[in-house]
Amino acid sequence: MHYPWWYVPFLNAPMLIAVIAVLHVLVSHYAVGGGLFLAVETSFAYRTKNKSYLDYLRQHAWFFILITVVYGAITGVGIWWTIGLASPLATETLIHAFVFGWAMEYVFFVLEIVSAFIFYYYWGRLDAKTHTAIGWIYAGAAWISLVLITGITAFMLHPGSWLESKNFWAGFFNPQFVPQVFSRTGGSFLLASLYVYLHAAFKVKDSAMRDLIAARSARPALLGAILVVLGGVGWFVFLPASAKAALAAASTLNLMMALIFALTVAVFALLYFGPYRNPGWLTPGFAIVLFVLGLAAFSAGEFVREAVRKPFIVYNVVLGNQVLAEEVPVLRANGYLESGSWMRAHVAARFPQAIENGKINEARLLELPKENQIELGEMLFQYSCNNCHAPKNGFSAASHLMRGWTTEMIRTCSREPEKLHFFMPPWAGTPEESELLTQYLISIAPAHPAGMYFGDER
Amino acid sequence: MNPSDLIGPSSSLGSPAPYWFLVFFKILGFVLHIIPMSLWYAGIILALLVRWKGGENGRIWSGRLMKQMPLLVALGVNFGIVPLLFTQVSYYQVFYPATILMAWFWLSVILLLTLAYYGVYIYAYGLKEGNSGLTPFRQAAAWIAAIFFIVIGFLFSNAFSLMTNLGGWPALAEKTGEAGAVLGTALNTGDSTLWARWLMMFGLALTTTGAYAYVDAGVFGRKESEKYRLWAGGFALKIYTLGAVWFALFGSWYVFGTWQEEVKATMFAMPLGILTVLTAVSPGLVWFCLWFFRKSVSKRAAFFVALTQLVVLSLNAVSRQIVQNLELGKFLDVTAEPVKMQLSPIVLFLLLFVFGIGVVVWMVRKVIAVETRPAAG
């Protein structure tokens, strides 16, 4: 670990990524699907000379800009901000592997911004052909930016042959690329329709216009739902074995998968029986229910997508605790504290007596007073475990997970966490350091809950 | 402790392109970013003050700038991605630790920016409805946006000054740490470079705002009255003068008060001495253009003003880059990163870059055609 670890009390730093990522994807998919909606429907409205529909689309374009160009764009930057803070090594790796993927995406961002503003602000001033063309430029640029970022995020789950070749294209066209492009494209269609329904349900008073909007957006939404399912199947098929095992093993993920399935069925049924068969159902209440269910399905999907990567951030490349997988044997030989720039500096400043010939003498660490060993163990916990576990209280708090454990159980967990749970990173330090961590964990592990009766004597 | 010990090893993946290529795009992106950025940083607060105390023409200028502000913010945010992207490729060993030390403040930029951006929209929307649309709520939203943009500037100056202040890292980490980890609550306020740069950049932003006032009147505001355009010429000169004096004042503090001896020794010696002098005096050229053309605001004059201000900003960006490398030089040689060239992605990026410029030019030409089309009837 070559960067300082950011301790976020109660939660933990990587959870901030999950929060911001979910907040972002709920809008970023609309930025893609909504762009396509505006391009297709504006062309249709011009072709059919439907002025009222054009007026509605103009209103929707303003709503679209306010949501996507401001909130969508800034939360997108926000993800980048957060990954650099919470997962600096993974970000460093991704940036080195894909900087030109991001640079290409940037070109399309600029096209999106310029075309979106011209599309809205020059509505009625550009001729229909030019106006529609600019709408299509936006839609095309937005979808390509989706494809570009999907190549990079899918890489994190399964880098494929990049692991051997380190070739940009091998990483970009990874086994997860096509399935995720399918599901994200489908998700864009689906979410865009849900945003359109929500907006139209509140803004459009004319029932004939509302029916038209409901009917026009139903097919893309249903197509989107089908693409999401197809992409989801592909996603599952091409998952690495560890991710499939995580899906089967973690009860939270079981629940999430069931939730995703139930919500997808519900959204599909509501779309089919609602806007597709009965456009008149589009009322504010119906639109809100559909919207909330859609967002819930999406959020659960994003959570699962992030969670199945454990213990990796980038599969077989970067572990969750900011260690390169290839570094583990070196760290076990040289010491986790010695190899981490910031930890070594802290030890040197705090315990100069443990330094010998400019290096940390691990044996001396175990000669320190107990409270100092616990202090060092706490630092090892921060750098090695806090990416997933809060210490005493909070998200997946280690102390509560170890409630009632014996010393030996704690020691085993410190030494070989990956054997206890395959979705935990391996211990990447020396046995002495593992012992320091054990001391700390013992100090925070609460006793078995009192009053539990197992048939023995009271 | 030697601060260099806190720098981690180079990425085993190597640099995906030669340093000169990355730094070229970093500087190009920064120059593109700093134009709209200056208009939020100094322009919004100035627009609000001028609306309040600037008379009729002042209100027109203020309204024109604030109506354009949503687009300017969008462009600025997007143009800012490029320099940040290339900073993370070439300067990752110092960029990540610096931002992690001040993580909560760095993360707060996202919240502040979102709120400020919506504040700008709230105000700009009110402008559509004339004076009655600028309710106290909308005005308050704009003031909050102006303050937030200045705070964001402060936080950026913090991050980028902390990036080169390696000597300050251990103390900040200890002061704001918990069990060897950091809480992300540090700021680089003990480093005078931060204050000098933040204030100097405000002066530079004022000059860009002044130059833009002239360009707007000469190019985009041709449908405004002659009286306004003449006023705008004089106003641009006044703002530019204020900005140039401010820039000179705090720039002097920055150069003579905060540069380390080795930086001074290089930047004041030949051949870089020429660059330093040009960077310092270049605003004078724009000032002269504004003074010369103040009574004849034309498209051609606006072109000169824009071009010369672009030179000012480019010289600043290049000088800043060299100084940054010199400041880091004793700890890290960013140019020495092993290169593992990603040729085909670079070629595709360059092709798309050219294609993207072509499409933008096509769209802008369509807009210009609409703007210059004679009114019907």
SS (H, E, C) chain A: CCCCCECCCCCCHHHHHHHHHHHHHHHHHHHHHHHHHHHHHHHHHHHCCCHHHHHHHHHHHHHHHHHHHHHHHHHHHHHHHHHHHHCHHHHHHHHHHHHHHHHHHHHHHHHHHHHHHHHHHCCCCCCHHHHHHHHHHHHHHHHHHHHHHHHHHHHHHCCCCHHHHCCHHHHHCCCCHHHHHHHHHHHHHHHHHHHHHHHHHHHCCCHHHHHHHHHHHHHHHHHHHHHHHHHHHHHHHCCCHHHHHHHHHCHHHHHHHHHHHHHHHHHHHHHHHHHHCCHHHCCHHHHHHHHHHHHHHHHHHHHHHHHCCCCEEECCCEECCCCEHHHHHHHHHHCHHHHCHHHHHHHHHHCHHHEECCEECHHHHCCCCHHHHHHHHHHHHHHHCCCCCCCCCCCCCHHHHCCCCCHHHHHHHHHCHHHHCCCCCCCCCCHHHHHHHHHHHHHHCCCCCCCCCCCCCC
CATH code of A435's domain = 1.10.760
Instruction: Domain count for chain A, please give it.
Output: 2
Give CA–CA dist B71/B52, Å, rounded.
Answer: 23
Q: Do B350 and B257 share a structural domain? A: no
Torsion of CA A436, A442, A445, A447, to 10 degrees: 180
| Inter-chain CB proximity B89 and A343 less than 8 Å | no
- Interface contact B352, partner A, CB < 8 A: yes
| Inter-chain CB proximity B15 and A166 less than 8 Å | no
- Per-residue model confidence as pLDDT tens for chain B (377 residues): 678 889 999 999 999 999 999 999 999 999 999 999 999 999 999 999 999 887 899 999 999 999 999 999 999 998 998 899 999 999 999 999 999 999 999 999 999 999 999 999 999 999 988 778 889 999 999 999 999 999 999 999 999 999 999 999 999 999 999 889 999 999 999 999 999 999 999 999 999 999 999 999 998 888 889 999 999 999 999 999 999 999 999 999 999 999 999 999 999 999 999 999 999 999 999 999 999 999 888 999 999 999 999 999 999 999 999 999 999 998 999 998 999 999 999 999 999 999 999 999 999 999 988 887 766 54
CB within 8 Å of chain A, chain B residues 177-236: 177-184
Instruction: Domain count for chain B, please give it.
Output: 2
Buried b (16+ CB within 10 A) or exposed e, A260-271: beebbebbbebb
Which of A319, A346, A366 marks a domain boundary? A319
Q: Do B157 and B32 share a structural domain? A: yes
| Inter-chain CB proximity B110 and A75 less than 8 Å | yes
- Residue A182 placed within a domain: yes
- Interface contact B114, partner A, CB < 8 A: yes
- Residue A7 placed within a domain: no
Cross-strand partners of A319: A312
Per-residue model confidence as pLDDT tens digits over A272-289 = 999 999 988 889 999 999
Backbone φ, ψ for residue B12 (5° rounding): -70, -15
The whole domain housing A370 covers: 327-444
Which of A319, A349, A374 marks a domain boundary? A319
Q: To probe the interface with B, which of A2, A100, A385 has the most B CB atoms within 10 Å?
A: A100
Q: Do B149 and B295 share a structural domain? A: yes
Q: To probe the interface with A, which of B10, B25, B86, B88 has the most A CB atoms within 10 Å?
A: B88
Which of A270, A303, A319 marks a domain boundary? A319
Encoding tokens for residue A120?
A: 């809205």
Q: To probe the interface with A, which of B21, B69, B349 has the most A CB atoms within 10 Å?
A: B349
Q: Do B220 and B121 share a structural domain? A: yes
Which residue in chain B is spatially nearest to A338 when comparing CA positions?
A: B5
Q: Do A291 and A414 share a structural domain? A: no
Q: Do A300 and A389 share a structural domain? A: no
- Interface contact B350, partner A, CB < 8 A: no
Which residues from B are below 8 Å from A17, CB to CB?
none
Sign of CA dihedral A160, B345, A27, A31: negative
Distance from CA of A378 to the nearest CA of B (A): 6
Nearest to A95 among B9, B88, B353 (CB): B88
Which residue in chain B is spatially nearest to A126 when comparing CA positions?
A: B370
The whole domain housing B371 covers: 342-377
Q: Do B320 and B238 share a structural domain? A: yes
Which residues from B are below 8 Å from A382, CB to CB?
178-181
- Residue A449 placed within a domain: no
Which residues from A are below 8 Å from B370, CB to CB?
122, 125-126
Q: What is the CA radius of gyration of chain B?
A: 22
Distances (CA, A) of A373 to A303, A408, A436: 36, 18, 6
Sign of CA dihedral A36, B32, B323, B186: negative
| Inter-chain CB proximity A96 and B110 less than 8 Å | no
- Interface contact B101, partner A, CB < 8 A: yes
- Residue A5 placed within a domain: no
Size of interface A-B (CB pairs under 8 A): 219
Q: Do A305 and A175 share a structural domain? A: yes
| Inter-chain CB proximity B110 and A101 less than 8 Å | no
Encoding tokens for residue A379?
A: 């630092």
Q: Do B361 and B235 share a structural domain? A: no
The pLDDT score that the predictor gives to residue B129 is: 83
| Inter-chain CB proximity B13 and A102 less than 8 Å | no
The pLDDT score that the predictor gives to residue B375 is: 60
- Interface contact B366, partner A, CB < 8 A: yes
Q: Do A438 and A417 share a structural domain? A: yes
Q: Do A253 and A136 share a structural domain? A: yes
The pLDDT score that the predictor gives to residue A307 is: 87
| Inter-chain CB proximity A100 and B16 less than 8 Å | yes
| Inter-chain CB proximity B340 and A166 less than 8 Å | yes
Give CA–CA dist A423/A420, Å, rounded.
Answer: 9
Distance from CA of B363 to the nearest CA of A (A): 7
Q: Do A380 and A245 share a structural domain? A: no
A75: left (phi over 0), alpha (psi -120 to 50) or beta: alpha
CB within 8 Å of chain A, chain B residues 275-294: none
| Inter-chain CB proximity A74 and B113 less than 8 Å | yes
Contact A319, A312 (CB under 8 A): yes
Per-residue model confidence as pLDDT tens digits over A47-86 = 999 999 999 999 999 999 999 988 998 999 999 999 999 9
Torsion of CA A131, A132, A136, A142, to 10 degrees: 50
Backbone φ, ψ for residue A136 (5° rounding): -70, -35
Q: Do B201 and B101 share a structural domain? A: yes
Encoding tokens for residue B272?
A: 């870089």
Encoding tokens for residue B363?
A: 């769209």
Q: Do A188 and A204 share a structural domain? A: yes
Contact A388, A311 (CB under 8 A): no
Per-residue model confidence as pLDDT tens digits over A207-221 = 999 999 999 999 999
Q: Do A131 and A39 share a structural domain? A: yes
Q: Do B358 and B310 share a structural domain? A: no
Give CA–CA dist A234/B289, Å, rounded.
Answer: 62
Per-residue model confidence as pLDDT tens digits over A242-256 = 999 998 888 888 899
| Inter-chain CB proximity A104 and B184 less than 8 Å | no
- Residue A1 placed within a domain: no
pTM over 0.90? The answer is yes
Residue among B183, B165, B223, B134 at smallest CA distance from A9: B183
- Interface contact B364, partner A, CB < 8 A: yes
Which residues from A are below 8 Å from B141, CB to CB?
none
| Inter-chain CB proximity A3 and B97 less than 8 Å | yes
> What interhelical angle do A207-237 and A177-203 show, nearest 10?
160
- Residue A454 placed within a domain: no
| Inter-chain CB proximity A84 and B348 less than 8 Å | no
| Inter-chain CB proximity A107 and B353 less than 8 Å | yes
Q: What is the CA radius of gyration of chain A?
A: 26
Q: Do B346 and B273 share a structural domain? A: no
- Residue A105 placed within a domain: yes
The pLDDT score that the predictor gives to residue B377 is: 46
Q: Do A417 and A297 share a structural domain? A: no
The pLDDT score that the predictor gives to residue A458 is: 59
Q: Give, as one character, the DSSP assignment of residue B217.
A: I
A316: left (phi over 0), alpha (psi -120 to 50) or beta: left
Q: Do B371 and B254 share a structural domain? A: no
Q: To probe the interface with B, which of A10, A64, A77, A374 has the most B CB atoms within 10 Å?
A: A77
Q: Do A199 and A57 share a structural domain? A: yes
Q: Do A365 and A271 share a structural domain? A: no
Distances (CA, A) of A242 to A160, A248, A259, A310, B199: 14, 10, 22, 8, 53
More confident residue, A410 or A450: A410
Q: Do A333 and A265 share a structural domain? A: no
Encoding tokens for residue B198?
A: 């933040």
Q: Do B350 and B225 share a structural domain? A: no
- Residue A413 placed within a domain: yes
Distance from CA of B322 to the nearest CA of A (A): 23
Q: Do B372 and B271 share a structural domain? A: no
